[in-house]
Chain A
Amino acid sequence: MVEVLTHQFQKSAQKALRDAFVQNSLRRLSHFHEARAQALAEIGLERWEALRERARQIKAHTIQHLDHYLAMLAEQVEKWGGKVCWARTAQEANEYVLQVARRHGVRLIIKSKSMVSEEMGLTHVLEEAGVEAVETDLGEYIIQLARERPFHIIAPAIHKSKEQVADLFAQRLGAEPVTDIPALAGIARRALREKFVQADMGITGVNFAVAETGTIAIVTNEGNGRMCTSMPRVHIAIMGMEKVIPRWEDLAVFLALLTRAATGQRISSYVTFVTGPRRSDEEDGPEEFHLVILDNGRRRLLEDPELQEALYCIRCGACLNACPVYGKVGGHAYGWVYPGPIGSIVTPMLVGLPKAKDLPYASSLCGACREVCPLRINIPHMLLALRQRLAEGAPQERKGSLLEKALMRGWLFLVEHPWAFGLAGRVASLLQRPLMRNGRIPWLPPPFNGWTRSRDFPPVASRPFRARWKTLTRGGTHD
């Protein structure tokens, strides 16, 4: 599995905030956001809402009967001559892929974009075993050359400027330093074309897997996915177990939502459907087709009524684009594979809450994610549920310090005793005097100094409302 750096959230976030390149590219996210809004305007709010509603129903039903639909999917895949691997962990999935590769004497693998394979750290594992695995999605290819992690679910290299990409290509591929985007894409295309021809195995992700037909659907914009599924002798598709949908016709709903929410497209440039390996009467396609169905902690979400909804996610990235926090710190700060609002739910559940204690708090709970999410996943309320575990859960999961707990108890005493509440205000209004400058408080001691580093704090009123109320009721004035 990929190294987990979730505990460094604060540090990485600050680094991103100071990085002018990162800040610049984060501003580009507004394109996605605007494109999405336009796509919605085009389809009309009413239809959009109807699609969302339908999609939620389908997901709710599927997740409720997940094992049933997964079994149906596996049966269909096998019926069409494919092989199915049930992997409980990333390691099991990696081993399976490696085994298949070894059995076929594979030296070179072409890969299309797959977040699940990122989660498994698959390319790394393959490389260590001496098998070259090349990412063929342009963004992923850039990331691979730079030895970084995806910055965004659907735009992995959005944090790189074209100058940076040009440098990278010059350095790694010995390419001419050009900085116009078509020329850069041309360099990548030429480098990748050779790989496409030589590869003996293709690995892809899965956007949706249709249970009743055993078909997997792959949504791409570059056509590389289709090369990976059709050119090499062997195709392995890897899916998180939540990707199954019951029926062929459900695809119409999800495809309409996915591309609009992700990029504002009515449909992506390519949607590839694969049902098993090549049949005897077909001219192309792989000789072998494998479907890896990965759990890797998803069952924990499945068995968790408060968080189960996270499995509805179709990884469109809309919540990242809308999130004010992601918009400032970007994808790397989150320290694992899935960043942004949905990452702050999924990551703690997959890598373990004790390792990712910062993430559920790294949100202002503004709810913009839920508003744009095509599945209306209630991310802010799930973050609150995770916070509860961090405050009140088992000791190893707890984050709240004893000081915080004590402060909470002190606060509760005030809440329960209005006289003390009033008194606390009066005491504070006396204590604040030495801190006041021009009627404001420009400095507070730790742990509150985070506020005053950039903002003044207002003083406690010398006469709180509850004291004024008496004059108000006596028909007093309002000034």
Chain B
Amino acid sequence: MQRAPKRVALFVTCLVDQFFPLVGEGVVKVLRHLGLEVDFPPAQTCCGQPAFNSGYRWEATVAARRFLEVFKDAPAIVAPSGSCVSMVRVFYPTLFHNDPQRLALARQIASRTYEFTQFLVRVLGVSDIGARYADGLVVTYHDSCHSLRELGIQEEPRALLRAVQGVRFVEFAHHEVCCGFGGTFSVKYAPISTAILQDKLENIADSGAQVLVATDSSCLMHIEGAMRRRRMAVRPVHIAQFLAEGLP
């Protein structure tokens, strides 16, 4: 990957912006702690994935054009979501296959758009950011599908979590299996989605973890929604927020 930039643009994602602002704050805190300048282009909105995943490519393309416009001068773009980063890195190029000029731009921007943990570990080369928790906190990690299977992110979040002082990192069974979210799938096919989620909850509970960490707020929102309903004691939290809270 490229030389580590000094300045990054934050793409906070629409979900984090509107529902989980503490995750966005966590990203900023960690990046600043590591000595980076963080910009937040206020004209950003959504990457277009909701439309794209439902088949509305025209609408998705409009959103993608906006993203390219907003971030075209950013030296590096960091987002706290493997899913939105997959949209940019993997799917933007397919959206512009008939538009050579934008395709070139999309490819350039794709190559400098990073999921948060990917950026820390692969680009900055950092896994110990100096976070610390009270000794013996049991933490586990759920692999979000897009992070894992579109971007190949597997070791990065684990390296970051293992380096947190006080944390005892454990894997839970079938951590790489989908949580059943899948965007509108979770609403349109709610009974199937819920049945898949049920297995996930049982596996998490069996691990004895106190904290469940993931790279995507969407999966966490899904898992948390059911945990709350069932009054489970596990705390689901985004990795950026978890790391930030462990910083002095």
Residues of chain A touching chain B, judged by Cβ–Cβ distance below 8 Å, are 10, 13-14, 17, 324-325, 327-329, 361-368, 370-371, 381, 384, 386-392, 400, 404-405, 408-409, 411-412, 414-416, 418, 421, 425, 428, 440, 442, 447-448, 450-451, 453-461, 463-466, 468-469, 472-473, 478
Contact = CB atoms under 8 A, between A and B. Distances in A.
B225 A458 contact: yes
B16 interface: yes
B74 interface: no
Interface class of chain B by DSSP: helix
30 contacts: A324-B177, A325-B189, A325-B196, A363-B182, A364-B185, A366-B149, A366-B177, A381-B94, A388-B57, A391-B56, A412-B51, A412-B59, A415-B48, A416-B45, A416-B63, A447-B187, A448-B187, A450-B189, A451-B190, A451-B225, A454-B194, A455-B225, A458-B225, A460-B18, A461-B18, A463-B21, A465-B24, A466-B17, A469-B40, A472-B25
Interface of B: 12, 14, 16-21, 24-26, 28-29, 40, 42-46, 48, 50-59, 62-63, 66, 91, 94, 145-146, 148-150, 176-178, 180-197, 221-222, 224-226, 228-229, 244
Contacts of A368: 145, 149, 176-178
A366 B59 CA distance: 23
A370 B40 CA distance: 36
B191 A412 contact: no
Contacts of A10: 189
A451 B190 CA distance: 6
Contacts of A329: 192
Nearest to B182: A364
B55 A390 contact: yes
B149 A370 contact: yes
A478 B178 CA distance: 32
A362 B145 CA distance: 16
Given A324-B196, A453-B194, A478 B42 contact: no
A400 B55 contact: yes
Contact of B45 (A365, A418, A461): A418
A324 B90 CA distance: 23
Given A366-B145, A463-B21, A450 B62 contact: no
Nearest to B220: A458
B185 A461 contact: no
Given A455-B222, A455-B225, A366 B182 contact: yes
Across chains A and B, which 8 residue pairs bring their CB atoms closest together, nearest first? A364-B182, A391-B55, A455-B225, A450-B190, A387-B55, A366-B178, A367-B149, A366-B145
The residue among A364, A365, A400, A440 with the most chain B CB atoms within 10 A of its own CB is A364
A328 B149 contact: no
A469 B185 CA distance: 32
Given A368-B149, A370-B149, A465-B21, A454 B197 contact: yes
Given A391-B56, A468-B24, A411 B51 contact: yes
A411 B12 CA distance: 18
A324 to B, nearest CB: 5
Given A408-B59, A412-B62, A364 B193 contact: yes
A400 B57 CA distance: 13
Nearest to A438: B228
Contacts of A386: 55
Given A365-B182, A404-B54, A418-B45, A458 B19 contact: yes
Contacts of B54: 387, 391, 400, 404, 408
B196 A392 contact: no
B46 A458 contact: no
B43 A418 contact: yes
B189 A415 contact: no
A416 B189 contact: no
Nearest to A329: B192
B63 to A, nearest CB: 5
Contact of A425 (B18, B62, B189, B228): B18
Contacts of B148: 367
B12 to A, nearest CB: 5
A29 B143 CA distance: 21
